[in-house]
Homo-oligomer: A and B are copies of this chain.
Amino acid sequence: MSTRRAFLAASAASFAAAAFPLRAQSTAGGKKLGVALVGIGSLTMGQILPAFAKASLVRPVALVSGHPEKAGQQAAKYHLDPRNIYTYDTFDTIKDNPDVDIVYVVLPNSMHAEYTIRAAKAGKHVLCEKPMANTPAECQSMIDACKAAGKKLMIAYRLRYEPMTQKAIELAQSMGTLQQISAEAGLTIGDPTQWRLNKKLAGGGPLMDMGIYAINAIRYLSKQEPSEVAAMISTNSADPRFKEVEETISFLLRFPSGMLASVLTSYNMSVNRVQVCDTSPQFEVSPFQTYANNHLYTLRGRDRVEVSYTPVNHFAAEMDHFAECITSNKQPLTPGEEGLQDMKVIAAAYQSAAENKPIKIV
């Protein structure tokens, strides 16, 4: 571990080479890229459709849904051409719609792979919600399909496109050797019948939905990949919400540099905090992954000093970034490979808990 600093320097350098300006420039007079939203759940209706008003480079043009009435209502609300409403059966004909440049997959996790692959085959670029899919194998098939089609694939890690997370990454880069990161992301979930509590549809429980933010944060703050995970699950299976998926999972991660990390995620605890240590905790982000009103604090002993930033709409920033990548033929900051990497960590964490032993992450 005497090479810890050298290792980190190398990691940072390779990462820096992949980075580029995150804020999209409005292309004055340029045509906005058209987005087809696949799935009209609460995320689409509550966050993504309203976000287009804040976006510079994209516009909503089509909806794909199994609920024609709901689709019609949303199309009317956002002034979309009613002819641009697709069902899952007619989805593949989207290839003939020149208004659609991007397919944004906002479906239950188990459907991400299928619709990403079908979108790529229809000749569209794909923006896919996190988690990328239910398994690393599905993630790889999505990467392969987009590559074969010559289309771009980006995973919707919205935090990477907003300034507070950028400031946190800068703070982490300015620190001494990172020794430990603690990340907690959880919520108290309601309706037991929702798809997020259905193992087949969601692929898992809070780890798929919330824990992935913790994993991703540890990775983007450290710019390192974990090599090993040791996990424990705690589930009250008498609770109707947790018949199929875990209630709470916590795990330790080991990194090649010697850094350790701990993750706590739950569907029965509202927690939302990241703390980053070199020889002491240097900053805390709490909450770190809500849609707005995240807070970054530098720490010096008991002093917590809030770092100010100008907030942006996460979904608008994320979609503008993807449009810019398409227009300029650049690799997105969060391509499919980024989603695959988180999914490998998730799969290893589940395996560790199931087999009750540490698992190497390869």
Interface residues of A (CB under 8 A from B): 1-2, 4, 179-180, 182, 184, 188, 228, 230-232, 234-238, 248, 250-252, 254, 258-260, 262, 264, 266, 268-271, 273, 277-281, 286-287, 295, 302, 356-358
Contacts and interface: CB of A to CB of B under 8 A. Distances in A.
Of A179, A228, A235, A278, which is in contact with the most chain B CB atoms at under 10 Å from its CB? A179
B236 A262 contact: no
Contact of A269 (B179, B248, B356): B179
A236 B357 contact: no
A287 B254 CA distance: 26
B357 A180 contact: no
A211 to B, nearest CB: 13
A236 B295 CA distance: 33
Contact of A358 (B287, B295, B302, B357): B357
Given A236-B2, A252-B252, A268 B279 contact: yes
Given A232-B254, A251-B252, A262-B262, 14 more contacts: A4-B236, A179-B266, A180-B250, A230-B231, A230-B358, A234-B259, A250-B252, A252-B262, A260-B264, A269-B278, A270-B279, A271-B277, A271-B280, A286-B302
A234 B258 contact: yes
Contacts of A250: 180, 252, 260, 262
Contacts of A235: 1, 258
Contact of A248 (B251, B260, B268, B286): B260
Interface of A is mostly: strand
Contact of A302 (B182, B252, B271, B295): B295
Contacts of A4: 236
A228 B278 CA distance: 29
A84 to B, nearest CB: 41
For the complex of A and B, the 9 pairs showing the least CB-CB separation, nearest first, are A270-B280, A2-B238, A1-B236, A230-B230, A234-B258, A262-B262, A250-B260, A232-B252, A188-B279
B260 A269 contact: no
Contacts of A236: 1-2, 4, 258
Q: Which of A184, A188, A234 has the most CB of B within 10 A?
A: A234
Contacts of A252: 230-232, 250-252, 262
